[in-house]
Amino acid sequence: MGMGTSTFVIRWVNLLTMLLAVAVIIFGVWMSTHNDGCRRSLTFPVLALGGFIFLISIIGFLGACKRSVALLWIYLAVLLIVLIAILVFTVLAFIITNNGSGHSNPGLRYKEYKLNDYSSWFLKELNNTNNWKRLKSCLVKSEQCRKLSKKYKTIKQLKSAELTPIEAGCCRPPSECGYPAVNASYYDLSFHSISSNKDCKLYKNLRTIKCYNCDS
């Protein structure tokens, strides 16, 4: 592929990514207008991502248009740094969450999770009071737990469903508690559980409590 063809490709690819970056920035501005603190908290990361993509794209676009070797080298260097950062992030995420892949239970298609399976750094960050308060508030507002009873009309459907980690860990008590399910989002807590798992006592059917304080 000749120099002319390669610069042509770089020019159009970066024009498209510039348009994508503008869309991301507009989305970030739109999120900032919400009264919901959970969405507003994502405004800066989204705007930063959009700005970063736009900056890289414009460097590549100008380098291709002007056939500037210096700009194209800067463009390639930044892309290399981004790729290395993605690789490092992927490796770290794997190391942190590798042991937390979940535990299978007989008769259930979904897995259950325990905090102690994760790395000490992850536990420290999650157990930070301010971090967890903010996360818990957003989880409650998302009403994922309340929607379970609409998604799964029968207990059989619930047991055969592939629940997300949030649905399996935050919306229901651990299976070992043995609480009979009235529906997908409500359990009969009058049942006397013989399990020593402290999560059994922490779980409540209230929308704002559920199992948000559980180790699961």
Least confident of 74-78, 95-99, 124-128: 95-99
What would the pLDDT profile of 47-57 be if each residue is shown by its tens digit?
A: 999 999 999 99
CA atoms within a 13 Å half-sphere pointing along the CA-CB vector of 61? 14
Q: Residue 147: is its pLDDT beyond 70? A: yes
Mean pLDDT over 71-89 rounds to 91
Least confident of 111-125, 134-148, 178-192: 111-125
- Fill in the DSSP letter of residue 176: G
10 within 8 A of 1, measured Cβ to Cβ: no
Q: Residue 99: is its pLDDT beyond 70? A: no
Contacts of residue 31, defined as CB under 8 A and 6 or more positions apart, other chains included, come to 39, 40, 42, 43, 46
What does DSSP say about strands 103-104 and 111-112: parallel, antiparallel, or unpaired? antiparallel
- The domain spans of the chain are 3-99, 103-202
Q: Residue 100: is its pLDDT beyond 70? A: no
Contacts of residue 62, defined as CB under 8 A and 6 or more positions apart, other chains included, come to 68, 71
Taking the C-alpha atoms of residue 199 and residue 194, their distance in angstroms, rounded to an integer, is 12
* pLDDT value, residue 180: 92
Q: Which long-range contacts (CB under 8 A, 24 or more apart) does 75-78 make?
A: 75/10
